[in-house]
Amino acid sequence: MANVMRQAMIRSYPKSRRIQFDAYSVLGAWALLVTCGLLFALGLAFRLSIDAVLITTFTVFLVVALLHVVLALSHRCPSCNKHPTVQGLAPIHPSAVPQSGMSGWARVIWDVYRRQQFTCIHCGEQFRVDTVA
């Protein structure tokens, strides 16, 4: 019952679609970067000529990473007016510190992807992310 009450008190993030696409772009960029590493290792291990595939994959990674930067700067927390997926050098809010695992902007991305809610790393406000239809 207490969990249901707490869930009802979490505000909906006004730019849910944008932060979801931001989270997907980060996950896609990381997947492409891992793919580039694997392609490079395979090319070295088996003496394969996969330069064109590697260059194309890395170019797509750069485009997706640039998309993340644009998306990350296109939405702000309504409580503190800061970007929840841009950490900077300031320490994160104590409410946004997880019990274990990743923290900061990476935690926001992971929480948006897995739980459809996140805590702003700047002010500690919790938000619900409405699912993309």
pLDDT digits (tens, 9 = 90+) for 26-66: 999 999 999 999 999 998 998 888 888 999 999 999 999 99
In a domain, 6, yes or no: no
The total domain count for the chain is 1
In a domain, 3, yes or no: no
Range of the domain at 35: 15-128
pTM for this structure? Answer: 0.87
In a domain, 40, yes or no: yes
Q: Is the pLDDT of residue 20 over 80?
A: yes
Q: How confident is the model at residue 7 (pLDDT cuts 50, 70, 90)?
A: low
- Pairing relationship of beta strands 11-12 and 117-119 according to DSSP bridges: unpaired
With beta carbons less than 8 A apart as the criterion, state whether 94 and 124 touch: yes
pLDDT in tens, 74-96: 999 999 999 999 998 989 999 88
In a domain, 95, yes or no: yes
In a domain, 37, yes or no: yes
